[in-house]
Amino acid sequence: MATIKPFRIAIPDADLDDLKSRLARTRWPDAECVDDWTQGIPLAYTQRLADYWANEYDWRAREEALNRFDHYTTEIDGLDIHFIHQRSGREDAFPLLITHGWPGSIVEFHKVIEPLTEQGFDVVCPSLPGYGFSGKPTTAGWGIEKIATAWDTLMGELGYERFGAQGGDWGAAVTTQIGRNGGRCVAIHLNMPL
């Protein structure tokens, strides 16, 4: 059985300073020739967004808000996997595995984790490989099928013999595969049916 280790989000100040510095040094292209989005994201909009990230966004507040959840990491098939595991505290809790999409993250679920645990569900939200705080694969092969198998392994490592799964976007593809695989998963819910 793999080792499950507690994890806390704690981005070093140097990394945040580096991001601000990089944003400040951006070499902007010439503006587009149109007054709409037909040539892609407008330069002015992109500049406002970069300024917001550099000067207004409060990463420490977001970090604190996310750290209210119980975070962990474990190694599955040689890759570190980050996940939230929020227990309801009920003996008869039904576990729900929730998978985010692209280019999303576990942040997508910050408003539903607590209501679900209050309703008696244990909630598990893994970060897809290469996303958030999960490791980045160094070889090919971490596709939908492998991730679905890894998530089933994770649920087994957490002691769950039955669980439900939910996903949207790429999470819907992974969740569909989890349902196809059978095993511990007894029900799936998709908000982007394939």
Structural domain includes residue 39: yes
Please, which pLDDT band fits residue 95 given cuts at 50, 70 and 90?
Answer: very high
Q: Are residues 151 and 181 in the same domain?
A: yes
CA 33 → CA 16, 49, 138, distances in Å?
Answer: 34, 20, 40
Q: pTM surpassing 0.75? A: yes
Domain span at residue 134? 67-190
142-152 pLDDT, tens digit per residue, is 999 999 999 99
46-76 pLDDT, tens digit per residue, is 999 999 999 999 999 999 999 999 999 999 9
Q: Are residues 183 and 120 in the same domain?
A: yes
Q: Are residues 25 and 99 in the same domain?
A: no
DSSP strands (E only) in 18-93 = 71-76, 79-86
Q: Are residues 126 and 31 in the same domain?
A: no
3-state DSSP call for residue 78? coil
Token representation of residue 62:
């977001």
Q: Are residues 152 and 72 in the same domain?
A: yes
Place of tokens 């993250």: 105
What is the domain-level CATH number for residue 110? 3.40.50.1820
